[in-house]
Amino acid sequence: METLTEQIFHLSSSADFEAAALRVFAYQYAYNSVYHAYCQHIGVQAKSVRTISDIPFLPISLFRTHDVVTGDFLPELTFRSSGTTGMERSRHLVKDAGLYRKSLTESFRYFYGEPSDYVFLALLPNYVEQRNSSLVYMMDVLMHESGAPENGYYLYNHEDMYKMLLQLRDNHKKTILWGVTFALLDFVEHYTLDFPQLIVFETGGMKGRRKEMVKEELYRILQKAFGVTDIHSEYGMCELLSQAYSKGGNVFATPPWMRLRLRSEKDPFDGSDTTDTGAINVVDLANVHSCSFIATEDLGRRSRDGIEVLGRLDHSQIRGCSLMVL
């Protein structure tokens, strides 16, 4: 698989992507015991998989109960999903930290250019406080690639962040603010600024701190408070190595080695990607040492520019997707 891991960042067509996906499937079917057992459980044999639509997607819930790894290795990184106290958290064992760094930096470059062009501010109190966050690791990498002395994390010191934002605005520095939803809302209750060039990333998550609200209302509040025209977002998770990005409207596009596909809400094994609204399946070819084919618990709608993420599936839909408990 070493040759493939080098090639996935140079895919130039849909045919290249499908050929690479089929190679990764064959490898993971053979050497990932959890994925192999799941395929067997739903009656899928390797020889029956001839197109990407035939590839089974592993329910993301299995990362909470199993080590989903391809091959036998000692992980260089271990990521855990965010969650409240007592909640069962997913675990992702990462064989190659360098592969993750390459995937996240190349994903960022694909949509935003060089990290060295930006200052990164991170308002991520709950992620920093919990250990083994893939998002915090991603911020560490982007800040390192940036090299800007103004880069930094902020927990609840909102006044310090406000002063830094004013300084960066007045010095005409290209700036990205990455914030968890409840923390951004806490900030804008007390501070507003007119910084049209600022890129604000909303990561999602109230984590029980605030009442949930529809995205349109959330974005309206944040746009007004920061003086920006759009709110950006990143669709990633601890179980993956790649990220999709939204530059507005909660519609996500993917880098060339990643795809978001929609499965029928009524058929958890639907791989056709023909529905306009359905549950989101993710193909992440960089995730070659874990599982590249993940059935998420998120709902999406097809758009001209990508996939709009609508929110979480309800419990009955998730149970329907979980016939696969091994």
DSSP characters for 63-94? GGTS---SS----SEEEE----TT----EEEE
Environment class of 6 (CB within 10 Å of its CB; exposed 0-12, middle 13-18, buried 19+): exposed
pLDDT of residue 325: 47
Instruction: State the Cα–Cα distance between residues 199 and 196, nearest whole angstrom.
Output: 8
pLDDT of residue 210: 54
pTM of the model: 0.92
Q: Is the pLDDT of residue 321 over 50?
A: no
Alpha helices in the chain (DSSP H): 2-7, 14-31, 33-41, 97-112, 125-129, 134-146, 158-170, 181-188, 215-226, 315-321
pLDDT of residue 86: 55
Q: How confident is the model at residue 1 (pLDDT cuts 50, 70, 90)?
A: low
Q: Provide the percentage of residues in the chain whose pLDDT is more than 70.
A: 92
Q: Kindly report, residue by residue over 276-303, the tens digit of the pLDDT.
A: 999 999 999 999 999 999 999 999 999 9
Give the chain's length.
326
Q: How confident is the model at residue 149 (pLDDT cuts 50, 70, 90)?
A: very high
CA-based radius of gyration for the chain: 20
**What is the overall mean pLDDT for the chain?**
91
Q: Once rounded to an integer, what is the mean pLDDT over residues 146-170?
A: 97
pLDDT of residue 50: 97
**β-bridge mates for residue 64, sequence order:** none
DSSP 8-state code for residue 121: E
Q: Once rounded to an integer, what is the mean pLDDT over residues 185-195?
A: 96
> Which run of H or E residues covers position 301?
strand 293-303
Which pairing describes strands 199-202 and 244-246: parallel, antiparallel, or unpaired? unpaired
Q: Kindly report, residue by residue over 10-37, the tens digit of the pLDDT.
A: 999 999 999 999 999 999 999 999 999 9
Q: Mean pLDDT: which of 61-70, 212-221, 265-274 is highest?
A: 61-70
Place of tokens 């990362």: 63
Tokens of 135: 């998002």
